[in-house]
Amino acid sequence: MIDEERMRRGKFTLDGQMLRHGDFDILRCVMDQVFVFHTEARFDRDEITYFAYHPSFDVLPLGHEYPKYEAIVTIQGANEVSVEWRKAE
């Protein structure tokens, strides 16, 4: 039997500039609770797509295409960063 909680999977893409020059604390918040199991680098677009698990992602039935997600980052004050994952349209 497959644990449904483990099936919360999706994909998201990060820009190479953000990975190289972005704020480390924000990137750390984005990647919090993310378990990456596959990446695809697109050097022609300077981006990396991550195929991953996150508890906010919807359960993905076996055999279905991975939905794309976006991380919505909100910065409140000097030390407070929150991240909300939304399914991309």
Instruction: Say if 41 falls within a structural domain.
Output: yes
Number of domains in the chain: 1
What domain range includes position 35?
7-87
Mean predicted confidence (pLDDT) in 67-77:
93
- Burial (Cβ within 10 Å: 0-12, 13-18, ≥19) of residue 10: buried
Q: What is the pLDDT of residue 79?
A: 77
Instruction: Say if 62 falls within a structural domain.
Output: yes
Q: What is the pLDDT of residue 2?
A: 64
Instruction: Say if 2 falls within a structural domain.
Output: no
Instruction: Say if 69 falls within a structural domain.
Output: yes
Instruction: Say if 1 falls within a structural domain.
Output: no
What contacts 83, CB < 8 A, 6 or more positions away?
Answer: 29, 30, 32, 71, 72, 73, 74
What contacts 6, CB < 8 A, 6 or more positions away?
Answer: 53
Nearest-Å Rg of the Cα atoms of the chain is 14
Q: Which band of pLDDT confidence, cut at 50, 70 and 90, is reported for residue 5?
A: confident
Q: Look at residue 1 and tell me whether its pLDDT is greater than 60.
A: no
Q: What is the pLDDT of residue 77?
A: 80
Of the listed ranges 3-7, 14-18, 68-72, the least confidently predicted one is 3-7
